[in-house]
Amino acid sequence: MDLQPLSSRVVLPPGGWASVLDFLCERFPAVGRDAWLDRMARGVVRVDGAPASRLAPYRPGAVVTYRREVADEPRIPFEERIVHLDDDLVVADKPHFLPVMPAGRHVEETLLMRLVRRLGNPDLVALHRLDRGTAGLVMFSARPSSRDAYTRLFREREIAKTYEALAPPLPGVAFPLLRESRIVKGEPFFRMSEAAGPANAITRIDVLERGERYWRYRLEPVTGRKHQLRVHMAALGAPILGDTVYPALRADPGGFADPLRLLARALRFVDPLTGQDRHFCSERELG
């Protein structure tokens, strides 16, 4: 069984390349010919679904799929935990710093790829995402036949998500509160910002614990905008501890000493397959 999902694809354009190998070497020069030959020998490059050999002829319109690989990818020294496992659903408790999906320089050291290897199931698909810096619960569909039922929970907002965060005190603010604002793309491209206009982002916010330096907040997103919780906390004047993006960019210290203190603590929903009330909780602590 192939446990390595083929995560990238390219449709061969019109051109005069003699072979698929020649095209890949020219299109992706950073990979190198020897690396493409090695991938072909291991069967992780395919043309229209069939393993590609070094002599595979070039055919415009053919679909080439391949698994991205990163040389010397660093190990993330923290482990995920499986909170729930059945034939249809996997719930994992993700550590800080571990990406959910392969992207950029993170391919094998991602929650998805770790679970694929650990469970021997290449059909795993993440039903939602957490930022690399956020720890906590992530749900995965374990088989295609029931996937749409679980996807619908998120699409129709039928799943309750609870987060916790450490951030500076807000003694002058009355809690609980409902933060409603319009969140749009900001500058640079990976940031979001609040703007004038009808609200498209809603978060319920309360205080769980009041410390001298930091408070522990409960955050319940009603909507799911990118970076919504981080933007809303920063806008209130209490940016989440460890955030290098909000309210303003600052240098990432690197390493693993200063994580974003944001945790996806709980998920609650009615299971669309069984009708049972499901409630999963992370056991991680924010410090």
pLDDT digits (tens, 9 = 90+) for 139-148: 999 999 999 9
**33-41 vs 20-27: helix axis angle to the nearest 10?**
130
What is the distance between the alpha carbons of residues 130 and 259, in angstroms, rounded to a whole number? 14
pLDDT at 68: 76
Contact 140, 115 (CB under 8 A): yes
Lookup: tokens for 274? 């069984």
pLDDT at 238: 98
Residues belonging to the active site: 131
In terms of Cα–Cα distance, which of 33, 52, 32 is closest to 42?
52
36-82 confidence digits (pLDDT tens): 999 899 888 999 989 999 999 999 999 999 877 776 778 899 999 99
Query: How many helical (H) and strand (E) elements, i.e. helices and strands, does the chain have?
Result: 5, 15
What is the distance between the alpha carbons of residues 32 and 35, in angstroms, rounded to a whole number? 5
Domains within the chain, CATH numbers bracketed? 8-66 (3.10.290), 162-262 (3.30.2350.10)
User: Strand pairing of 262-270 and 135-141?
Assistant: parallel
**Is the full-model pTM beyond 0.85?**
no
Contact 192, 183 (CB under 8 A): yes
